[in-house]
Structure 1
Amino acid sequence: MPRLPVLYAAALTVALGVGVRVLWDGPVPKYAGDALYTVLIYTLVLLVLPRMRPWAAAATAAGLSWAIEFAQLWEIPAPLRPVLGSTFNPPDLLWYAVGAGLAWAVHALWLSRLSRAGG
Protein backbone atom coordinates (compact mmCIF):
# COMPACT_ATOMS: atom_id res chain seq x y z
CA MET A 1 0.00 0.00 0.00
CA PRO A 2 1.39 3.45 -0.87
CA ARG A 3 2.64 5.35 2.15
CA LEU A 4 0.95 8.69 1.40
CA PRO A 5 -2.63 7.42 1.99
CA VAL A 6 -1.37 5.73 5.16
CA LEU A 7 0.11 9.02 6.35
CA TYR A 8 -3.22 10.72 5.66
CA ALA A 9 -5.00 7.97 7.59
CA ALA A 10 -2.62 8.44 10.53
CA ALA A 11 -3.22 12.21 10.53
CA LEU A 12 -6.99 11.70 10.31
CA THR A 13 -6.82 9.24 13.20
CA VAL A 14 -5.00 11.76 15.39
CA ALA A 15 -7.47 14.49 14.40
CA LEU A 16 -10.41 12.22 15.25
CA GLY A 17 -8.86 11.42 18.61
CA VAL A 18 -8.42 15.10 19.45
CA GLY A 19 -11.91 15.89 18.16
CA VAL A 20 -13.52 13.20 20.31
CA ARG A 21 -11.73 14.57 23.37
CA VAL A 22 -12.88 18.12 22.61
CA LEU A 23 -16.51 17.26 21.83
CA TRP A 24 -17.42 14.70 24.50
CA ASP A 25 -16.92 13.94 28.17
CA GLY A 26 -17.09 10.69 30.10
CA PRO A 27 -16.55 7.22 28.68
CA VAL A 28 -17.08 8.13 24.99
CA PRO A 29 -13.71 9.84 24.46
CA LYS A 30 -11.93 7.33 26.68
CA TYR A 31 -13.03 4.23 24.79
CA ALA A 32 -13.07 5.90 21.36
CA GLY A 33 -9.52 6.99 22.17
CA ASP A 34 -8.58 3.39 22.94
CA ALA A 35 -9.94 2.22 19.59
CA LEU A 36 -8.26 5.09 17.74
CA TYR A 37 -4.97 4.38 19.55
CA THR A 38 -4.98 0.93 17.96
CA VAL A 39 -5.96 2.39 14.58
CA LEU A 40 -2.94 4.68 14.84
CA ILE A 41 -0.71 1.72 15.67
CA TYR A 42 -2.21 -0.05 12.62
CA THR A 43 -1.22 2.87 10.39
CA LEU A 44 2.29 2.96 11.88
CA VAL A 45 2.66 -0.77 11.20
CA LEU A 46 1.66 -0.15 7.57
CA LEU A 47 4.16 2.70 7.28
CA VAL A 48 6.93 0.32 8.30
CA LEU A 49 5.58 -2.72 6.42
CA PRO A 50 3.39 -1.36 3.60
CA ARG A 51 2.75 -4.79 2.00
CA MET A 52 1.36 -6.33 5.18
CA ARG A 53 -2.03 -7.93 4.74
CA PRO A 54 -4.96 -6.31 6.58
CA TRP A 55 -5.54 -9.27 8.93
CA ALA A 56 -1.84 -9.35 9.87
CA ALA A 57 -1.72 -5.59 10.44
CA ALA A 58 -4.84 -5.84 12.62
CA ALA A 59 -3.39 -8.71 14.65
CA THR A 60 -0.11 -6.83 15.08
CA ALA A 61 -1.83 -3.59 16.12
CA ALA A 62 -4.12 -5.36 18.58
CA GLY A 63 -1.22 -7.39 19.95
CA LEU A 64 0.93 -4.30 20.49
CA SER A 65 -1.98 -2.46 22.12
CA TRP A 66 -2.66 -5.39 24.43
CA ALA A 67 1.03 -5.71 25.28
CA ILE A 68 1.15 -2.02 26.24
CA GLU A 69 -2.02 -2.42 28.33
CA PHE A 70 -0.64 -5.45 30.17
CA ALA A 71 2.65 -3.58 30.74
CA GLN A 72 0.59 -1.15 32.81
CA LEU A 73 0.31 -3.86 35.46
CA TRP A 74 3.88 -2.85 36.31
CA GLU A 75 5.39 0.59 36.74
CA ILE A 76 5.56 2.61 33.49
CA PRO A 77 8.35 5.24 33.62
CA ALA A 78 6.91 8.73 34.09
CA PRO A 79 8.11 10.15 30.72
CA LEU A 80 6.32 7.33 28.85
CA ARG A 81 2.98 7.55 30.69
CA PRO A 82 1.41 10.14 28.36
CA VAL A 83 1.89 7.72 25.44
CA LEU A 84 1.66 4.31 27.13
CA GLY A 85 -0.73 5.08 29.98
CA SER A 86 -0.30 4.08 33.60
CA THR A 87 -3.36 2.15 34.78
CA PHE A 88 -4.45 -1.29 33.58
CA ASN A 89 -8.13 -1.27 32.60
CA PRO A 90 -9.56 -4.59 31.29
CA PRO A 91 -12.29 -2.98 29.09
CA ASP A 92 -9.53 -1.28 27.10
CA LEU A 93 -8.62 -4.69 25.67
CA LEU A 94 -12.04 -4.90 24.00
CA TRP A 95 -11.78 -1.41 22.53
CA TYR A 96 -8.33 -2.17 21.12
CA ALA A 97 -9.88 -5.14 19.33
CA VAL A 98 -12.66 -2.88 18.02
CA GLY A 99 -10.08 -0.42 16.67
CA ALA A 100 -8.08 -3.21 15.03
CA GLY A 101 -11.25 -4.63 13.49
CA LEU A 102 -12.33 -1.26 12.12
CA ALA A 103 -8.89 -0.58 10.67
CA TRP A 104 -8.83 -4.06 9.12
CA ALA A 105 -12.29 -3.53 7.56
CA VAL A 106 -11.42 -0.12 6.09
CA HIS A 107 -8.07 -1.38 4.78
CA ALA A 108 -9.60 -4.52 3.24
CA LEU A 109 -12.38 -2.45 1.63
CA TRP A 110 -9.80 0.00 0.26
CA LEU A 111 -7.75 -2.82 -1.24
CA SER A 112 -10.79 -4.49 -2.80
CA ARG A 113 -11.85 -1.24 -4.42
CA LEU A 114 -8.34 -0.69 -5.74
CA SER A 115 -8.23 -4.17 -7.22
CA ARG A 116 -11.67 -3.73 -8.86
CA ALA A 117 -10.66 -0.36 -10.30
CA GLY A 118 -7.36 -1.68 -11.59
CA GLY A 119 -8.49 -4.99 -12.97
Structure 2
Amino acid sequence: MPGRAPASTTLARALAPRFALLLLAVVVARVGRLAEHRLPEPVGGPLGEVLAAALVAVLVLVVRPRTRALMAAAVGFGLCAAVELLRLTPWPQALADRWPPLAPVLDAAFSPAGLLWSAVGAALGAVAGAAVARGVSRGRVRDGHHT
Protein backbone atom coordinates (compact mmCIF):
# COMPACT_ATOMS: atom_id res chain seq x y z
CA MET A 1 0.00 0.00 0.00
CA PRO A 2 1.35 3.41 -0.86
CA GLY A 3 1.96 5.63 2.13
CA ARG A 4 2.34 2.80 4.65
CA ALA A 5 5.70 1.99 6.10
CA PRO A 6 6.82 -1.64 6.16
CA ALA A 7 6.49 -3.42 9.50
CA SER A 8 10.27 -3.43 9.99
CA THR A 9 10.40 0.36 9.56
CA THR A 10 7.52 0.81 11.99
CA LEU A 11 9.27 -1.42 14.53
CA ALA A 12 12.54 0.48 14.10
CA ARG A 13 10.70 3.77 14.65
CA ALA A 14 9.09 2.42 17.80
CA LEU A 15 12.36 1.06 19.20
CA ALA A 16 14.68 3.97 18.33
CA PRO A 17 13.77 6.09 21.39
CA ARG A 18 14.19 3.05 23.66
CA PHE A 19 17.64 2.26 22.26
CA ALA A 20 18.71 5.89 22.72
CA LEU A 21 17.34 5.85 26.27
CA LEU A 22 19.12 2.58 27.02
CA LEU A 23 22.36 4.14 25.83
CA LEU A 24 21.72 7.14 28.09
CA ALA A 25 20.99 4.75 30.98
CA VAL A 26 24.29 2.93 30.45
CA VAL A 27 26.21 6.22 30.42
CA VAL A 28 24.43 7.53 33.53
CA ALA A 29 25.02 4.24 35.38
CA ARG A 30 28.70 4.16 34.47
CA VAL A 31 29.32 7.80 35.41
CA GLY A 32 27.41 7.25 38.67
CA ARG A 33 29.57 4.27 39.62
CA LEU A 34 32.72 6.18 38.74
CA ALA A 35 31.58 9.16 40.81
CA GLU A 36 30.87 6.99 43.86
CA HIS A 37 34.15 5.08 43.66
CA ARG A 38 36.62 7.63 42.33
CA LEU A 39 35.59 10.96 43.86
CA PRO A 40 35.97 11.92 47.52
CA GLU A 41 32.86 11.14 49.60
CA PRO A 42 31.68 14.74 50.03
CA VAL A 43 31.32 14.95 46.24
CA GLY A 44 31.07 11.35 45.06
CA GLY A 45 28.36 10.29 47.51
CA PRO A 46 25.82 12.97 46.62
CA LEU A 47 26.72 12.85 42.91
CA GLY A 48 26.27 9.08 42.98
CA GLU A 49 22.83 9.52 44.55
CA VAL A 50 21.85 12.13 41.96
CA LEU A 51 22.95 9.86 39.13
CA ALA A 52 21.28 6.77 40.64
CA ALA A 53 17.96 8.62 40.77
CA ALA A 54 18.55 9.96 37.26
CA LEU A 55 19.08 6.37 36.12
CA VAL A 56 15.78 5.27 37.65
CA ALA A 57 13.91 8.09 35.88
CA VAL A 58 15.58 7.23 32.57
CA LEU A 59 14.63 3.57 33.04
CA VAL A 60 11.01 4.64 33.55
CA LEU A 61 11.26 6.26 30.12
CA VAL A 62 12.84 3.14 28.63
CA VAL A 63 9.74 1.22 29.67
CA ARG A 64 7.38 3.99 28.46
CA PRO A 65 9.20 6.48 26.21
CA ARG A 66 6.13 8.70 25.79
CA THR A 67 5.80 9.28 29.53
CA ARG A 68 5.90 12.95 30.41
CA ALA A 69 9.07 14.11 32.15
CA LEU A 70 7.13 15.15 35.26
CA MET A 71 5.64 11.67 35.64
CA ALA A 72 9.00 9.96 35.01
CA ALA A 73 10.58 12.23 37.65
CA ALA A 74 7.79 11.49 40.13
CA VAL A 75 8.05 7.73 39.64
CA GLY A 76 11.85 7.85 39.76
CA PHE A 77 11.84 9.90 42.94
CA GLY A 78 9.14 7.71 44.49
CA LEU A 79 11.17 4.56 43.92
CA CYS A 80 14.36 6.15 45.24
CA ALA A 81 12.56 7.59 48.26
CA ALA A 82 11.11 4.15 49.00
CA VAL A 83 14.61 2.64 48.96
CA GLU A 84 15.92 5.47 51.15
CA LEU A 85 13.10 4.99 53.66
CA LEU A 86 13.56 1.22 53.57
CA ARG A 87 17.03 1.84 55.00
CA LEU A 88 15.34 2.79 58.28
CA THR A 89 14.37 -0.86 58.73
CA PRO A 90 16.40 -4.06 59.13
CA TRP A 91 15.10 -5.32 55.77
CA PRO A 92 17.91 -4.02 53.54
CA GLN A 93 20.50 -6.15 55.29
CA ALA A 94 18.24 -9.20 55.18
CA LEU A 95 17.53 -8.66 51.48
CA ALA A 96 21.21 -8.12 50.68
CA ASP A 97 22.10 -11.29 52.61
CA ARG A 98 19.57 -13.29 50.61
CA TRP A 99 20.47 -11.76 47.24
CA PRO A 100 23.96 -10.18 47.21
CA PRO A 101 23.46 -8.17 43.95
CA LEU A 102 21.13 -5.91 45.98
CA ALA A 103 23.91 -4.97 48.41
CA PRO A 104 25.22 -1.97 46.41
CA VAL A 105 21.73 -0.48 46.32
CA LEU A 106 20.81 -1.17 49.93
CA ASP A 107 24.13 -0.93 51.77
CA ALA A 108 23.97 2.73 52.78
CA ALA A 109 22.37 4.12 55.91
CA PHE A 110 19.32 6.37 55.74
CA SER A 111 20.16 9.96 54.88
CA PRO A 112 17.63 12.80 54.80
CA ALA A 113 19.91 14.54 52.31
CA GLY A 114 19.59 11.44 50.15
CA LEU A 115 15.95 12.32 49.61
CA LEU A 116 16.93 15.75 48.31
CA TRP A 117 19.63 14.32 46.03
CA SER A 118 17.14 11.74 44.75
CA ALA A 119 14.63 14.47 43.89
CA VAL A 120 17.27 16.45 42.01
CA GLY A 121 18.53 13.38 40.17
CA ALA A 122 15.07 12.12 39.22
CA ALA A 123 14.19 15.54 37.80
CA LEU A 124 17.44 15.79 35.85
CA GLY A 125 17.18 12.24 34.54
CA ALA A 126 13.57 12.67 33.47
CA VAL A 127 14.28 15.93 31.64
CA ALA A 128 17.38 14.51 29.93
CA GLY A 129 15.63 11.26 29.05
CA ALA A 130 12.54 12.99 27.67
CA ALA A 131 14.77 15.28 25.60
CA VAL A 132 16.67 12.29 24.18
CA ALA A 133 13.48 10.39 23.34
CA ARG A 134 11.91 13.48 21.78
CA GLY A 135 15.09 14.31 19.87
CA VAL A 136 15.36 10.81 18.40
CA SER A 137 11.69 10.85 17.41
CA ARG A 138 11.88 14.33 15.90
CA GLY A 139 15.14 13.56 14.15
CA ARG A 140 13.49 10.62 12.43
CA VAL A 141 10.54 12.80 11.39
CA ARG A 142 12.84 15.55 10.11
CA ASP A 143 14.92 13.05 8.15
CA GLY A 144 11.79 11.88 6.38
CA HIS A 145 11.73 8.44 7.97
CA HIS A 146 8.43 9.01 9.67
CA THR A 147 5.15 8.88 7.79
In which range does the TM-score fall when normalised by the shorter chain?
A: 0.7 to 0.9
- Matched ranges for 1:56-75 at <5 A: 56-75=71-90
**Deviation readout 1:22-64 (Å, 9 max, x if unpaired):** 5421211100000111111112212222221111011000000
1:79-108, Cα deviation, whole Å (9 max, x unpaired)? 333222341111000000110121233234
The number of residue pairs the alignment matches comes to 119
For structure 1, which runs of at least 5 residues remain unmatched after alignment? none
1:114 deviates by 5.8
Secondary structure of the residue aligned to 2:67 is coil
Q: 1:104 aligns with which of 126, 129, 144?
A: 126
Q: How far off its partner does 1:113 sit?
A: 4.8
TM-score (normalizing by structure 2):
0.70
Aligned to 1:53, which of 68, 81, 99?
Answer: 68
Is 1:4 aligned with 2:19? yes
Which residue identity is paired with 1:2?
Answer: P
Verify the 8 A CA contact 2:21 2:132 in the aligned structure 1. Answer: no
Q: Which runs of 5+ in 2 are unaligned?
A: 1-15, 143-147
Aligned twin of 2:112: 90
**Which is worse superposed, 9-18 or 99-108?**
99-108
- Distance in 1, Cα, partners of 2:30 & 2:133: 23
Distance 1:45 1:112, change over 3 A: closer
| TM-score relative to the length of structure 1 | 0.84
Higher RCO structure, 1 or 2 (CA under 8 Å, sep 6+): 2
Cα RMSD between the aligned structures?
A: 2.2
Give the percent of matched residue pairs that are identical in Structure 1 and Structure 2: 37
